[in-house]
Amino acid sequence: MNVDLTYTEAKTDFIHKRTAEARRIYGDIYSRIRFVEHEGGFVMKLKNVLIVVKDIERARQFYHDLFGLEMILDNDGNMILTEGLVLQEEKYWTKFLGREIISENNSSELYFEESDIEGFVEKLESYYPEVKYVNRLMTHSWGQKVIRFYDPDGNLIEVGTPI
């Protein structure tokens, strides 16, 4: 048994294979590293961020095209992408909540960093010319360049240069 695997390697094997062997080998490692030591104690680690989408395949393609995110797991209406982004189909989320989804509610945003932000803007405008902007490329007073826009389902996205 190789216990010198990184967390990412163990998690990827655990998720992808889902075999009894993977659970036996990685289960204990996986369960111990979901918590982060903090000031002598342990705090829970944020694992995923879920966004609601109308068309899961369209959303998967959008996040792949622009950010290079790959699908890790597809659970029929719930899809986990790399970097911890989870896509949840609206019809299931509405059923869970018993409420309507409010698109473009501006109460949260997904934040990505990109060194070549001008190149990113070109790619965004090439792949998705119909994108709805909150603000086009701008520079904050502290020097960071950012752009904000909505994904096809009204989820707010910010892309900025590293600070």
pLDDT at 93: 92
Query: Token pair of 11, please?
Result: 């998690």
pLDDT at 17: 46
Q: How far is CA 119 from CA 5, 7, 137, in A?
A: 35, 32, 11
pLDDT at 5: 54
pLDDT at 39: 66
> Are 120 and 140 within 8 A, CB to CB?
no
| Positions of the chain with pLDDT under 70 | 1-41
| Domain boundaries, given as residue ranges, for the chain | 7-44, 49-160
pLDDT at 45: 83
- Using the structure block, give the residue that is written with the tokens 């989804």: 101
CA angle 106, 61, 80 (to 5 degrees): 75
Q: Which CATH number fits domain 49-160: 3.10.180.10, 3.60.15.10, 4.10.80.40, 3.40.605.10?
A: 3.10.180.10
